[in-house]
Structure 1
Amino acid sequence: MTSTKELNWAVLGVGVIANEMAQALQNMGKKLYAVGNRTHSKAVDFAEKYGIEKVYDDFQDIFTDPEVDIIYLTTPHNTHYPFMKKALENHKHLFVEKSITLNSDELDECVKLAQKNNLILAEAMTIWHMPIYKKLWEMIHNNEFGKVQMITINFGSFKDYDMKNRFFNKNLAGGALLDIGVYALSITRSFMQSKPTKILSQMLPAPTGVDEQATILLMNENNQMATIALSLHSKQPKRAMISCEKAYIEIMKFPRANKAVITDAVTGEKQEIILGDTKKALQYEMEDMEKAILQGQTELLQFAYTKDVMDIMTKLRREWNLVYPEEM
């Protein structure tokens, strides 16, 4: 069923992603309907910057406003679960920054609530929406490179060694896995035929107990394997390599990539594919979200992959005995 309704977007939070989201909507010829934030003055400044007419004196009113169709949740991921429940209970479609929840139990509960109220719930994972990945998945599906055999992912940031910083702060659900590992696991899952069933890992904790570094080994029932290296205090390239029977695919800066280099396994000949625009990452996300709501194209949201990735992260943290205060 297709609808031509104009959807009203509201954003909770006014950080970097919220700014990108507001700019993306402008590029779509739209603007945000409303904004909410814990610090009201920051919401007012944000509204003035983007010409938003509605600012909530109490940010919680975003959940009950009858004019809001979709809430884009950009707050820290340890706050997502309670906000998601409020949004879904009040019949709002929901687009949530990664990591969508802290664990699988939280996600499962929200999924049931979304299904009960006939709502769309999705994670704002750039990888699901960048045109280059849609093209590569199609090529893999068409068996142009043979079976995917091995996937190798690197993602490392150099963050100042400040244990109060959100990246290392357990009270803010810090750690490499939920912040950057979610990207690495998402691209890995998207090129695997099935969910990994064998998972091994090593983790180096920061002084606060969150995961500072980790290496993860994955294997599924199709005998496809993956290795992932994550770090928060040592720089690595954001690099993905998808090794197939007939070729390997290299992708740099993979969370918002628009280019892939494909090398023939026999001849060494290289093919370069450039598709999409890294600056439009959030625009692609929101366009797909609207298509899911208005045209029923829910497959664009890749929610099954989101669920699989959350299950893997939950299993890993349980093995690491890494528990956040909200989970106690």
Structure 2
Amino acid sequence: MGEKIEKELKWAVLGTGIIANEMAQALEKMGKKLYAVANRTHSKAVEFAEKYGVQKVYDKIEDMFTDEKTDIIYITTPHNTHIKFMIEALKNRKHVLCEKSITLNSEELEEAVKIAKEKNLILGEAMTIFNMPLYTKLLEIVNSGKLGDVKMIQVNFGSYKEYDMNNRFFNRNLAGGALLDIGVYAISIARLFMTSKPDNVLSQVKYAPTGVDEQASIIMMNKEQQMSTIALTLHSKQPKRVVIACEKAYIEITEYPRADKAKIVYTETGEVEEITAGMTSNALQYELQNMEESVKTGINKMKLEYTIDIMDIMTKLRKEWGMTYPEEE
């Protein structure tokens, strides 16, 4: 018997921004080349292909979805375009990794998940937190029970963005706002360490001049009565910091979206333990590797069930705020 030959999976990327560049570099670190690229502005796709030795540039975005050689498409375009491209890709039997936020709302996500299930495809959100080795390690520690139960999670994320109403952060036509852009990280890390989905969610919101959410505070509780408090802002800097408070210790992580180290402070002794795993600079590589493994084994490692929970929470919040995007009206 010959040994099983695993076919090399071919990746295509839609978009040529910062994330697409990081993705092409991550594939190079894995000893692979990006197979194909498409972009709304064709000349940008050509430049990108030259930079990374990409074999194929599509003349039209639509051609990307029907190319039989492509296995996985990574969608890195603005939030409000995701669902349209995702459906096209899935209908053409392509596995999809999509930038966060994966969709605008839970109805869109339900539709994509349904198609992926029908066609037996892997769908994943490119959420670094779900793929960083540090969190696998920390979850093992928490689940071992040695820190006691998780009681309270505090999460901050604040960036200072100029009030430039053309950039995507504050642009309602590009699905701007704090919740979909940075809140998705904060809610993701809280959900990861909570035993079940929060079913009691309260919030306050402050709007930017364009009518998108600029700042929000969110408190969440689940049936186990674990609680989480989240503070988000797009117009003032605060540390990207999370504190996971357990009965016998707390875990503190800074720069948590791509963290590779954490500290555990033990309540009784004050002893501090450093936990390290993975490397911040390899964040995209971990996502791509987990996506490839999911495709090869048919078992989704991308934590789609958490992505669904998080999208439900964000959709419910925006409904309460009365904040919609043009595509939803």
For Structure 1 versus Structure 2, the TM-score category normalised by the shorter chain is: over 0.9
Change (3 A) 1:225 1:3: farther
Partner of 2:8: 6
Task: Report the AA paired with residue 231 of structure 1.
Answer: T
Partner of 2:176: 174
Partner of 2:113: 111
Distance 1:283 1:71 in 2: 15
Partner of 1:320: 321
Q: Is the 8 A contact 2:122 2:298 kept in 1?
A: no
The answer to whether 1:302 aligns with 2:292 is no
The 5-angstrom pairing of residues 148-187 of structure 1 reads 148-187=150-189
Partner of 2:91: 89
The answer to whether 1:41 aligns with 2:50 is no
Distance 2:25 2:52 in 1: 8
Q: Is the 8 A contact 1:3 1:294 kept in 2?
A: no
CA RMSD of aligned residues (A): 0.9
Report the alpha carbon displacement of residue 3 of structure 1 after superposing the two structures with TM: 7.0
Distance 2:242 2:278 in 1: 18
Change (3 A) 1:280 1:287: same
Q: Is the 8 A contact 2:13 2:36 kept in 1?
A: yes
Distance 1:264 1:142 in 2: 15
Partner of 2:31: 29
Partner of 2:282: 280
Partner of 1:132: 134
Partner of 1:239: 241
Report the alpha carbon displacement of residue 169 of structure 1 after superposing the two structures with TM: 0.7
Percent identical residues? 64
Distance 2:250 2:64 in 1: 46
SS of equivalent to 2:253: strand
SS of equivalent to 1:26: helix
Report the alpha carbon displacement of residue 25 of structure 1 after superposing the two structures with TM: 0.2
Partner of 1:55: 57
Distance 1:75 1:88 in 2: 16
SS of equivalent to 2:69: coil
The answer to whether 1:80 aligns with 2:87 is no
Report the alpha carbon displacement of residue 296 of structure 1 after superposing the two structures with TM: 3.0
TM norm structure 1: 0.98
SS of equivalent to 1:291: helix
The 5-angstrom pairing of residues 248-287 of structure 1 reads 248-287=250-289
2:125 to 111, 114, 123: 123
Q: Is the 8 A contact 1:77 1:98 kept in 2?
A: yes
Deviations 1:10-55 (A, max 9, x none): 0000000000000000000001110000000000000000001100
Q: Is the 8 A contact 1:289 1:301 kept in 2?
A: yes
Distance 1:325 1:297 in 2: 36
Deviations 1:214-251 (A, max 9, x none): 00000000010000000000001000000000000000
SS of equivalent to 1:301: coil
Deviations 1:257-306 (A, max 9, x none): 000000001111100011110000000000000111102342x2111110
Deviations 1:127-161 (A, max 9, x none): 01101000001111111211000000000000011
Number of residue pairs the alignment of both structures matches:
326
Partner of 1:16: 18
Gaps of 5+ in 1: none
SS of equivalent to 1:68: coil
Deviations 1:138-194 (A, max 9, x none): 111111211000000000000011122210010000000000000000000000000
Distance 1:167 1:54 in 2: 31
SS of equivalent to 1:10: strand
Q: Is the 8 A contact 1:3 1:295 kept in 2?
A: no
Task: Report the AA paired with residue 293 of structure 1.
Answer: V
Distance 1:3 1:272 in 2: 40
The 5-angstrom pairing of residues 188-267 of structure 1 reads 188-267=190-269
Q: Which runs of 4+ in 1 moved over 2 A?
A: none
Gaps of 5+ in 2: none
Distance 1:297 1:22 in 2: 24
Distance 2:297 2:218 in 1: 38
TM norm structure 2: 0.98
Task: Report the AA paired with residue 85 of structure 1.
Answer: I
SS of equivalent to 2:6: coil
Distance 1:98 1:114 in 2: 17
